[in-house]
A and B are shown apart, each in its own frame.
Chain A
Amino acid sequence: MPKHICSSPSAGWGLGPAKGPKHLWVLCRTSPALHLQRQTAAESRVTERDRGLYCIGRTKVHPESAPLLCCFLKSPPAVLPAQPQSSAMLKRGFQVAGRLSQHRVLPGVPRVLPRLNLTSAFGSSTDSLVSRFCLEKTGLKDYAVPNASWCPDMLSLYHELQEKTKTDGWVKLPSFKSNRDHIQGLKLPFGLSVASGERDWRIFTRCVQGEGQGYEYVIFFHPSKKKSICLFQPGPYLEGAPGSWIQTAAFDHLGHPKGIFHEDTDFPTDASDTGGLGQSLHRFAHGGSLAAMMDETFSKTAYLAGEGLFTVSLNIRFKNLIPVGSLAVLNVDVEKIEDQKLYMSCIAQSRDQQTVYAKCSGVFFQLPLEKESPQ
């Protein structure tokens, strides 16, 4: 039994015609960035398809040894960093296939090429995506670090999670001003990339740069569990419409809201009357700002978990409003990856989990980025 068997399926297999020598067609996906050398152990051809390269190798095997070969090739070659190693791996695979033809294994192998499982058929594994994403010393400002505007809850939870990055495998994701900075050296595929005006662009969730004014957030990701935790504190720029105030205002006999809406009230000029950042005014974040935060967390999680790039759908159930300046904890899980789509769920709640702010499910489309052509 070859010792390289691993569990993530990235290859399919099938058998040639029943009569004559048995040929095993091995189909496996590799990263588009890898250039496979022509195999000498077996015929092979590389076909560029819509989403990645397919290497089709053919070798003479005993049909019953096919499952073993398939297992061997299930270790995704793109995990290996350097090109020669990957092609050598495949080359070796074909050589092993030849040797395996000596062994008799389970009978009853199907004769039809099974549907290619695209679960992790894309080139880059989560670990390589994470290490590329979390480069140190980029010279760029990382906004996902504590500052004076962070409330005590957010700070303490941040430090708790920072500890877990050392022990439990969590990774803190950096957050730059533009999404462009996260994918240096890569671009959107198939001519989707848009060239002009890039310097002015800013990622939506970093649109307001004043500390504490807009989105204050940090995302922690766990590569093997494929989970994320986002600590989100909305600032006053993210406030909602008057409807969001009405929930806590009292109403007079005419149905008009009183208290803050009262005609006679002079606006208080010192902070003590408002109780700091609007505590008695009960300001809440705009529903859209939470939708955007969820979409952003989904986006980073989807990218790292499986090269998810574009949102396909978002289904948000709002339960309670988030007060401006308070902490909302977003827990994101990747439910499944199927048909080139990543299905995720998110629940936004208070730190003590007593108040649920919203629940959301999102679907992202997988699309690997391409290497930028050298200028």
Chain B
Amino acid sequence: MLRSGALRLCAPGVLRGPRRSAAPPTRESRPPPRSFASEVIRVDLSLPNPSWSKDMRLLFDQFMKKTEDGSWKRLPSYKYVSPQRTEVKTFFPDGKPVKEDHMPQAQLFPRSLEEGLGFEYAMFHNHVENRTVCIFQGGPYLQGASGFLHGGAIATMMDSTLGVCALTAGGVAMTANLNINFRRPIPLCSVVVINSQLDKVEGRKLFVSCNVQSVDGKTLHSKATSLFVKLNPKEV
């Protein structure tokens, strides 16, 4: 799937210019009205791209089928998280790299690596059961012990998935505790499924847990429990 010009700063190796977008032109000229937690619509990266393996695509299709009856919903995911309506193009008109001082947006960490090299994932949420499922393919730049996914990389994905689960359940919250038990190492470039659910809510505390399984469901790679705390606007 082609993407619109999202020029990367200091892209390792190749410097790429903006690419043609498959989205309709109106989308980029007029940003949608923004709400509290919205992001400027750039490109939804939670969609299949050439780097996705067969397993990943299969899983994605399975979950997309589940969204048909309305209980499941695919969650979009963007690279740039910004409240500003100014487009990236304005700052990178000639495709030249811009100094970091002028960089407008924040990059969401799991979306900051190039296609196929880092985190490739898509999240689905079931609002009835309060569950969030993330299908994740770890790329070659996430290496830990030789040939396996770095513990920190799966920790980042678990934190993201748990965060989304907490967000959809209770609003904006931040990670307070994250407790991960690793059972089996995950081979690099393989696909795993992260199932997370909200366990309980106590006031501002959200207890969320998740497990990481292989595609066939036979291998449990790791489990995590976490505590998220809802932010209280008045205290900020």
Question: B80 → chain A, closest Cβ, in Å?
Answer: 10
Residue B163 interfacial (CB < 8 Å): yes
Of B110, B145, B152, most A-chain CB atoms within 10 Å: B152
Residue A245 interfacial (CB < 8 Å): yes
Residue B93 interfacial (CB < 8 Å): no
Q: Report the separation of the CA atoms of residues A207 and B142 in the bound assembly, to the nearest whole angstrom.
A: 7
- Chain B residues near A203 (CB-CB < 8 A): 143-144, 150
The interface-forming segment of A32-40, A313-321, A331-339 is A313-321
Question: A209–B155 contact, CB under 8 A?
Answer: no
The interface-forming segment of A74-82, A85-93, A96-104, A255-263 is A255-263
Question: B156–A289 contact, CB under 8 A?
Answer: yes
The interface-forming segment of A21-29, A120-128, A186-194 is A186-194
Question: A247–B151 contact, CB under 8 A?
Answer: no
Question: A207–B163 contact, CB under 8 A?
Answer: no
Q: Report the separation of the CA atoms of residues A292 and B99 in the bound assembly, to the nearest whole angstrom.
A: 27
Question: A312–B181 contact, CB under 8 A?
Answer: yes
The interface-forming segment of B58-66, B184-192, B199-207 is B184-192
Question: B179–A315 contact, CB under 8 A?
Answer: yes
Question: A318–B155 contact, CB under 8 A?
Answer: no
Residue A208 interfacial (CB < 8 Å): yes
Interface flags, B162-199, vs A, CB<8A=1, else 0: 01000100001111111111100101110000000000
Residue B100 interfacial (CB < 8 Å): yes
Known: A208-B12, A266-B86, A317-B177. A257 touches B143 (CB 8 A): no
- Chain A residues near B180 (CB-CB < 8 A): 313-315
Question: A201–B143 contact, CB under 8 A?
Answer: yes
Instruction: Return the contact of B83 from the options A193, A260, A266, A316 (Cβ within 8 A).
Output: A260
Q: Report the separation of the CA atoms of residues A213 and B103 in the bound assembly, to the nearest whole angstrom.
A: 12
Instruction: Return the contact of B182 from the options A213, A242, A270, A312 (Cβ within 8 A).
Output: A312
Question: A257 → chain B, closest Cβ, in Å?
Answer: 7
Residue A178 interfacial (CB < 8 Å): yes
Interface flags, B8-25, vs A, CB<8A=1, else 0: 011110000000000000
Q: Report the separation of the CA atoms of residues A205 and B155 in the bound assembly, to the nearest whole angstrom.
A: 13
Question: A314–B155 contact, CB under 8 A?
Answer: yes
Question: B152–A310 contact, CB under 8 A?
Answer: no
Question: A291–B236 contact, CB under 8 A?
Answer: no
Known: A205-B150, A207-B141, A295-B155. A288 touches B110 (CB 8 A): yes
- Which of chain B's residues has its CB closest to A316's CB? B178
Q: Report the separation of the CA atoms of residues A203 and B143 in the bound assembly, to the nearest whole angstrom.
A: 4
Q: Report the separation of the CA atoms of residues A248 and B235 in the bound assembly, to the nearest whole angstrom.
A: 10
- Which of chain B's residues has its CB closest to A195's CB? B147
Residue A145 interfacial (CB < 8 Å): no
Interface flags, B37-60, vs A, CB<8A=1, else 0: 101000000000000000000000
Question: A64 → chain B, closest Cβ, in Å?
Answer: 47
Residue A136 interfacial (CB < 8 Å): no
- Chain B residues near A6 (CB-CB < 8 A): none
Question: A260 → chain B, closest Cβ, in Å?
Answer: 6
Q: Report the separation of the CA atoms of residues A313 and B154 in the bound assembly, to the nearest whole angstrom.
A: 12
Please name 9 further chain A to chain B contacts, defined as beta carbons within 8 Å, in addition to the given A198-B147, A201-B140, sorted by A numbering.
A178-B143, A193-B147, A194-B146, A204-B152, A247-B174, A265-B84, A267-B104, A269-B91, A312-B182
A residues whose Cβ falls under 8 Å from a Cβ of B = 178-180, 183, 187-188, 192-194, 197-198, 200-205, 207-214, 236-251, 255-257, 260-261, 263, 265-267, 269-271, 274, 276-277, 283, 285-289, 291-296, 299, 309-318
